[in-house]
Amino acid sequence: MAAADMDNIFYTMETAVFQGSADRVASDTVNTLLETSGDPLNWEQTGNPSVAGIAYYDPLKGTPVKGTISSLKLNALTEPMVTDLTGSEYKFYLDITRTDNNEPIKTLGNNSTNATNIVKVERSALYSKLTVVSKAEGVISGSGAVRPYTNPPNQFKTSSSSLQSNDYWMLVDNHGYSYANITINNDTIYLGPTNITTATKIDPGFLKQDAVSYNNTVTIISGSPPGTWMNLYIVEVPLGTAPTLDNVQPKPCRFQFYLWTE
């Protein structure tokens, strides 16, 4: 009886070995994508990573923010980069959607397969279509006088390479202010009653464009009656992307990764 059933035993063992290996590869791939920022850290600018990670890198802390997806890195992620993580013997399908409204964020790979053994890894993450590079949040409130706020809370960096792939915008969360003069380095942008709440693109000529990253200074001068307040966000987005305030705070998303062999 054992000899007659040997083929089934071998098949069961092979299936178990494959399942364990595929589980490990799928889990390691998802961990690399969501928990690291890749190597080199600016691979989304060079387009040639040794390892593709899409976690947002916090320059102030000097560490990746695990589970928070960088819009710039995700935008640059390609199918061959993921295959480099899984190995060419595997096929995959990646599907990322917003949790609250199922809005598609990104898909990679092919979801049409006849494979019988498919491994699925699902994680929750945070995602925003933009990256906040400088902000004055909770520090600008009406006092009846004009008050300057400088470098909120830090200078932000641009370079010739970053300006070739990204746009920079100003977003104002306004609650009662009638105007704001925002100076980027030596150029001032006036936001009045008609456009203070409108997303405003920063002229690339206002920003540092050296070969390496250099700091841009920010100064805000505004006045309003007591009891009013505003927040200012300077954001970085891929070229051609129009940001909104709704995207400033990262939203929960569903990260689903499928892996198989054919």
- Residue 213 has a pLDDT of 73
Tens-digit pLDDT profile for the chain (262 aa)?
A: 555 554 554 444 444 444 568 999 999 999 999 999 999 998 988 888 999 999 998 877 889 999 999 988 998 999 999 999 999 999 999 999 999 999 999 999 988 878 888 999 999 999 988 888 888 888 788 765 555 666 665 678 888 888 988 999 999 999 988 888 999 999 999 999 899 999 999 999 999 988 777 889 888 888 777 888 888 999 999 888 889 998 888 999 999 999 999 7
List the alpha helices (DSSP H) in the chain.
Answer: 6-35, 43-46, 71-76, 79-86, 160-165
All structural domains of the chain with their residue ranges: 6-129+249-260, 131-242
Q: How do 214-216 and 180-184 pair as beta strands?
A: unpaired
User: If one looks up domain 131-242 in CATH, what number appears?
Assistant: 2.60.120.380
**Predicted pLDDT of residue 14:** 46
pLDDT at res. 134: 87
pLDDT score of 98 = 95
Return the pLDDT at 9.
43
Full-model pTM: 0.73
List, in order, residues 6 or more apart from 135 with CB less than 8 Å away: 152, 153, 231, 232, 233, 234
The amino acid occupying position 192 is: G
Q: Which residues lie below 8 Å from residue 163, measured CB to CB, with a gap of 6+?
A: 204, 207, 209
